[in-house]
Amino acid sequence: MEVRNSLDYYVLDVFTQESYKGNPLSVVFTNGDLSLTEYENISREFGYSETSFVYYSIEQKMLHVRSFTPIGVEVGGAGHNLLGAVSGALLKGLISEHTLSLTVLMENTPIAITIDNPTQGLPVVKMRQKPVQNGQELAFDLLAKALGLSEKDLIVRQLIPTIAQTEVAHAMIPVSSINLLNSIKPNANALIELSKQFDFEGFYCFAFPESTESYIVQSRFFNPLIGIDEDAATGTAAGPLAGFLCNSKVIQQGQESQILQGVKLNQPSLINVVVKEDGIYVGGSSVVTMQGVVYL
């Protein structure tokens, strides 16, 4: 029988404490960097919005993470792909369960991580993103057409659709009701053209709940530019949204809040966010749903 090299993997549901909720992520444990072809093949085989590859460097005392979409695009940022990778490393024993903080290297960028280990429940991993930078405002008519909405559907309080960035630039798009939010049927080609024209990636559409809820907004995320039709939880967009809402005086600095995402996909995810002076903290838990072996 042919002997083949193999790598262990977990599939985790991220931004949740329940299996089969949240955003699924495959996490593959390696002994170092793989070839680009191996990254691409494995990510395509899993087919999740992203697959993360993880190893711990003893020399650098640092966790290394690389993430790829099913179409072979490498992505960085402090999102569910990083949170799930760190959670997987904890469960795998690459990081001590007593670790409270560490630095993770992703796309050659160091990202600060803190870990809360409650007496009950799963660890909560928090990722520090850079302070938000608000960029260009976007025209209502262009967005409405691409999202299958009317211009009046995007008139919410005094908020203007705006490109915002911490690690990755995404468009923050207010929608006037949760019903309209869930009615969005985006034109992928139109979204891609807008992303290229204005130099950003995804579209983070959000609406405020009509009654008092534990979350501040409900959201949906579309990023066909890198092969993601819709994502169940997007940390790289939740951070900029928190910063955007703070700058717009909707939430206050230091206020701990939650964003609900993934409802339309039947994968509800709760993303914890808080804006501080040194950056925006995005966090949540992850639960393992599957584990196995990948053959190279």
Q: How far apart are CA 285 and CA 271, in angstroms?
A: 9
Q: Is 37 exposed, middle or buried (0-12, 13-18, 19+ CB in 10 A)?
A: exposed
Structure letter (DSSP) for residue 225: G
- Residue-by-residue pLDDT tens, the chain, 296 positions: 565 799 999 999 999 999 999 999 999 999 999 999 999 999 999 999 999 999 999 888 899 999 999 999 999 887 899 999 999 999 999 988 778 889 999 988 899 999 988 877 888 999 999 999 999 999 999 999 999 999 999 999 999 999 999 999 999 999 999 999 999 999 999 999 999 999 999 999 999 998 888 999 999 999 999 989 999 999 999 999 999 999 999 999 999 999 999 999 999 999 999 999 999 999 999 999 999 999 99
CB 124 within 8 A of CB 118: yes
| Single-letter residue type at 104 | V
CB 254 within 8 A of CB 275: yes
| Single-letter residue type at 241 | L
| Single-letter residue type at 22 | G
Q: What is the pLDDT of residue 2?
A: 61
Q: Which of 289, 127, 126, 282 is nearest to 219 (CA)?
A: 282
- Reported as type and span, the H/E element at residue 66 is strand 62-68
- Global pTM reads 0.90
Look at residue 135 and give its three-state secondary structure: strand
CB 113 within 8 A of CB 126: yes
Q: What is the pLDDT of residue 90?
A: 93
Q: How far apart are CA 203 and CA 222, in angstroms?
A: 5
Q: What is the pLDDT of residue 108?
A: 85
Q: Which parts of 82-216 are beta strand (E)? A: 101-106, 109-116, 124-129, 133-137, 162-165, 169-174, 203-207
Would you give the distance in Å from CA 89 to the centre of its chain? 18
